[in-house]
A and B are shown apart, each in its own frame.
Chain A
């Protein structure tokens, strides 16, 4: 060690010792940080954008009310590029480098698994805000893993039953070949079989692939009554566009587990008229649902457009972190998780929801929607409700089936 480096280290050390009490004090006044990995680039970018806004709105509202436990709230949004490895790395950075106390986020089943691996390792509370069956089941789940979104089992049981009863029982299924697509495919096949229908064929395609033409002649030739498509994000636009250009909408009904508002907006009635699917939230619920009315108005005021579907999950999850911290009077992850399990009922944007104790899964209403032929009441009047499916624990697998009994 030479003289110069000796001097710098000792001065820095002395400064640290003197400043130490100040550091301690500042820590409790430091903002509470919530890390938020989300695929800001790639085929889910439009959905991620809505997520980002939902999270920002929640943080604004919390801070306007004086923060959580008197501390400001920050949300740190990072691009996970829709890749599990990047999602894991961003999460680790958010926890270790940015000192986030909690993680909310993820927008794809396979990426949220990777995020969850990191939060489990660091013993940090994670509220997942996108669909997955595994996230609330053994071996992936943990006492610190919460799941705010709907999952493929719930959605596809509800959608599958409705479609089989109303649109037809001869289906073709096309699905993105990753966790979410495969899970939906399995549940849909199972549901249809129980109702006495037939799956004429089920074809996987690689997620993010914009070219579906090679799949279409085979489906045309099979003549299904219903074409079930799990083509998430931007893929949905490409898929519908190509299927319609082959003239297929004339021959069969189009249905899917989920509608997504950003895609429905982009495609408009030209693509989405008469396309069926479920949704966790649609802004027109404001007419009948007071929580929805409040949420839609706040969102509109901040962003000048009505909220989408996935943004609502993000909004709700951030407010749940806040509620947990307030209840626990602590930012310690396990204390917050216990507080949420002990007080499971909440309502942030569409009416009553609750956490099931055994798997930290949120139960909530969902709606079966149909794309309108013509917009109603402005450019966002894209969908209409054809049925409401009330929150019901029986739509999901039981905790015993999830290995959590």
Chain B
């Protein structure tokens, strides 16, 4: 069982990287939204699902994957803006329970809505022709599309990092998550910042969705388990920590991949075992600050 070749193990690590990248995209959005607004966004999985459906829809209309890849997340982001502006905003300052209930209800509505619009039966769409083949990496053959997923996620993360550290808006977002009262006292309209952050978070979930679509298919329930696993990632990384979301996302991806390799029966449970272990040693997660939820 354990006489494993190095090549097979390397291939496994690569596979885990792709799983991790999808988790990272979802977890970053969750973590951003939580860090700034202390909103636990249960509708995040539904934004992921919407991204995939919008991608499918746009691909059917335009026939161009690249256009869909850009527009679908923007559409999900816009949808997220509307949700924040007209629903979530009314619940700020009420403690984390109320928005949690709202977003949970919203996720049920969205799943049912997707079933009504696109049907109960899943859809499939193909990666673009250029990425449809498998690439020989020397130690294994790996799908070109999955390499592309790694690349695009890395690029988005770098862009996001630049946005948060190098722009004024990014500065305000970081300040807002540290001390919202002080930022307000300085005369900055936090309402607009909340809107932007919610939009970015949903757009990232939408991007994860359209990226996952060609690999996993598109169906109404696709976000249900993903949102739970992404929360695990956020908790492991530390609620509100972006670096934590990245590190924990990759960690969980590798844990799933390597557990599947050595003991497939445990692959589902190991995610939660990791969470339990991390929380035992560091109750606020790998990179979390204590006291955010109090």
Residues of A within 8 A of B (CB): 40-43, 45-46, 49, 177, 203-206, 210-211, 213-218, 220-221, 234, 237-238, 241-242, 245-247, 262, 266-267
Contacts and interface: CB of A to CB of B under 8 A. Distances in A.
Given A213-B19, A237-B122, A221 B8 contact: yes
Contact of B16 (A214, A234, A245): A214
A206 B266 CA distance: 10
A401 B215 CA distance: 43
B246 to A, nearest CB: 20
Given A214-B256, A237-B217, A241-B215, A267 B132 contact: no
A241 B264 CA distance: 20
- For chain B, what secondary structure do more than half of its interface residues adopt (helix, strand, loop), or is it mixed? helix
Interface size class of B (residues with CB under 8 A): 35 or more
Contacts of A42: 221
Contacts of B219: 43, 234
Given A204-B265, A221-B7, A216 B120 contact: no
A369 B270 CA distance: 39
Given A245-B127, A247-B134, A262-B121, 7 more contacts: A45-B121, A46-B122, A213-B15, A214-B256, A215-B264, A220-B141, A267-B124
A311 B182 CA distance: 65
A334 B202 CA distance: 57
Given A217-B8, A218-B8, A41 B120 contact: yes
B261 interface: yes
Contacts of B264: 203-205, 215
Contacts of A46: 121-122
Given A205-B264, A221-B8, A246-B143, A211 B216 contact: yes
A47 to B, nearest CB: 9
A41 B256 contact: no
Given A204-B264, A214-B16, A245-B146, A41 B115 contact: yes
Nearest to A201: B1
23 contacts: A41-B115, A41-B220, A203-B260, A205-B260, A210-B222, A211-B216, A213-B15, A214-B12, A214-B256, A214-B261, A217-B14, A217-B15, A218-B8, A218-B261, A234-B219, A237-B122, A238-B217, A245-B134, A245-B215, A246-B143, A247-B133, A262-B121, A266-B124
Interface in B239-258: 256-257
Given A218-B8, A245-B143, A177 B265 contact: yes
Contacts of B145: 245
A221 B11 CA distance: 10
B142 interface: yes
Contacts of A211: 19, 215-216
A218 B257 CA distance: 11
A246 B217 CA distance: 16
